[in-house]
Amino acid sequence: MTDDQPTAPFAAAVYRPDTGDRMALLRFVEQLKSEQVRVGGLLQEARFDADGEISGLDAIDVLTDQRVPITRPAERDGECTFDVSALADTTAILRNAINQRLDLVVVEKFGELEQDGKGLIDEIFQTIAADIPLLISVSEAALPLWQERSGELGSVLAFNVESFRQWWQNLQRDASE
């Protein structure tokens, strides 16, 4: 990107299977919140059992810290399954962020449902259409699909706080010009 081109108002934070620091998005959000930036959206946090094994996944509302259990072990086989009713809660969180016209919306992540055109995909693109900055985590394997769906118009960032910070600062600079 050259200095005379505006920064894309949405960005894919690309992680790989060997990305060591998967907490970078959370740390970035916490930094912005401490700076009084109005950040909303969803982060994910794994839940662990007494043996240290993953026992589920929660979506966390960035604005309120409300937790929504999105996967839990099935009673029959113990494998984690997606709680379809949680989708209503998570879509409501993103719609609220859009309605409040927050400074930034983060979404962890462009997952299998979104890749299939389901899940939170409508709210993700509504955020972009509303011209609210969006930072979404995308696996390296799903990046070509994300770019196709987003018209290759967004930025692609390394999955680290420094890349997120630079993108955000560039957005702020562009908005003030």
The pLDDT tens digits of the residues spanning 39-78 come to 999 999 988 888 888 788 899 999 999 999 987 666 555 5
Q: Is residue 141 part of a domain?
A: yes
Q: Using an 8 Å Cβ cutoff, are 49 and 55 in contact?
A: yes
Q: Is residue 90 part of a domain?
A: yes
What is the total count of domains within the chain?
1
Q: Is residue 50 part of a domain?
A: yes
More confident: 26 or 46: 26
Q: Is residue 5 part of a domain?
A: no
Q: Is residue 126 part of a domain?
A: yes
Nearest to 63 by CA among 27, 25, 108, 29: 29
Q: Is residue 14 part of a domain?
A: yes
Query: What kind and span of H or E run contains 170?
Result: helix 161-176
Residue 57: predicted pLDDT: 87
pLDDT, tens digit, for every residue of 82-104?
A: 667 788 899 999 999 999 999 99
pLDDT, tens digit, for every residue of 111-158?
A: 999 999 999 999 999 999 999 999 999 999 999 999 999 999 999 999
**Least confident among 36-40, 76-80, 138-142, 169-173:** 76-80
Q: What is the pTM for the complete model shown?
A: 0.90
Q: Is residue 78 part of a domain?
A: yes
Q: Is residue 74 part of a domain?
A: yes
CATH code for the domain in which residue 166 is found: 3.40.50.300
Residue 2: predicted pLDDT: 43
User: Encoding tokens for residue 5?
Assistant: 């081109």
Q: Using an 8 Å Cβ cutoff, are 153 and 8 in contact?
A: yes
Amino acid code (one letter) for 30: E
Whether pLDDT at 1 is above 50 = no
Helix, coil or strand: residue 10: strand
Kindly write down the DSSP assignment for every residue of 30-87, as one continuous string: HHHHHTT--EEEEEEEEEE-TTS-EEEEEEEETTT--EEEEEEE-TTT--EEE-HHHH
Q: Using an 8 Å Cβ cutoff, are 132 and 105 in contact?
A: yes
**Structural domain span for residue 32:** 10-176
